[in-house]
Amino acid sequence: MDLRFLGQSCFELTDGEHNVLIDPFLSQNPKAAVGPEEVEPTTILLTHGHADHLGDTVDIAKRTGATTVAVVELANELGGEGVDVRDPNLGGTVKFDWGWVKLTPAWHTAVSPKGTPHAPAGLLINFQGTVIYHLGDTALFSDLALVAKRGDPVDIALVPIGGHYTMDRWDAITAAELVGAKTVIPCHYDTFPPIETDAQAFKADVEAATNSEVVVLAPGETHSPG
């Protein structure tokens, strides 16, 4: 599988047949690697409905027919706009032919741009046997470890490091310790001035404190786990 970083919290998982697109904030993201017309997802997964995550979901989903997974209140809003949705709540798992996604807790707030309050989530994903934990927008909390130890070990953790709206790069070191992934990929930084941070310093700190390898991806770059 390939994992491509598209900016902010947006990632695309690809196996050549299925394209799983997470948090497609593209047209309004000054650092986005591609425009919303350049992606062809078969599935869209949302951590929550803040504009820097919901992004271009409705346009992309309606153009491609991609099934979209979001927490129930947000899914209901999107379903009303004509998107094909799956609507779990926290703890729920949705199965696909490529694997599954489980919504996990995240300590954050969330109201959609249209005013729908909902619980923000992390995403625990099994994509063709690779376990990916997208932490979503969250502060540091100890149950990150509980999520990470509940099944197969986490291969890749996608961790926000920008601070201000989420944990910062120092709290994210502890998050990386709690999750214990083989590979940590930082996200949710440098898109706007309040979340500018030093990803290379985060890499050095995590690799000194843990057994995880940190892979820093610029928007548009792809990580292919061995």
Residues that bind Ni ion (CB under 5 A): 50, 137
As a whole number of angstroms, the distance between CA 53 and CA 45 comes to 10
Q: Which is nearer to Mn ion, 137 or 190 (CB)?
A: 137
Query: Min. distance of Cβ 132 from Mn ion in angstroms?
Result: 18
The crossing angle, in degrees rounded to 10, of helices 57-64 and 72-80 is 60
Would you count residue 137 as binding Mn ion (CB under 5 A)?
Answer: yes
Tokens 């017309």 belong to 37
Q: Which is nearer to Ni ion, 131 or 167 (CB)?
A: 167
Would you count residue 155 as binding Mn ion (CB under 5 A)?
Answer: no
Query: Min. distance of Cβ 32 from Mn ion in angstroms?
Result: 14
**Centroid of chain to Cα 171:** 18
In the set 4, 20, 46, 52, which binds Mn ion (CB under 5 A)?
52
Q: Which is nearer to Ni ion, 78 or 131 (CB)?
A: 78
As a whole number of angstroms, the distance between CA 181 and CA 148 comes to 8
Q: Which is nearer to Mn ion, 137 or 155 (CB)?
A: 137
Query: Min. distance of Cβ 89 from Ni ion in angstroms?
Result: 18
Q: Where are the alpha helices (DSSP H) in the chain?
A: 51-54, 57-64, 72-80, 143-148, 171-179, 199-209
Contacts with Mn ion: how many residues (CB under 5 A)? 2
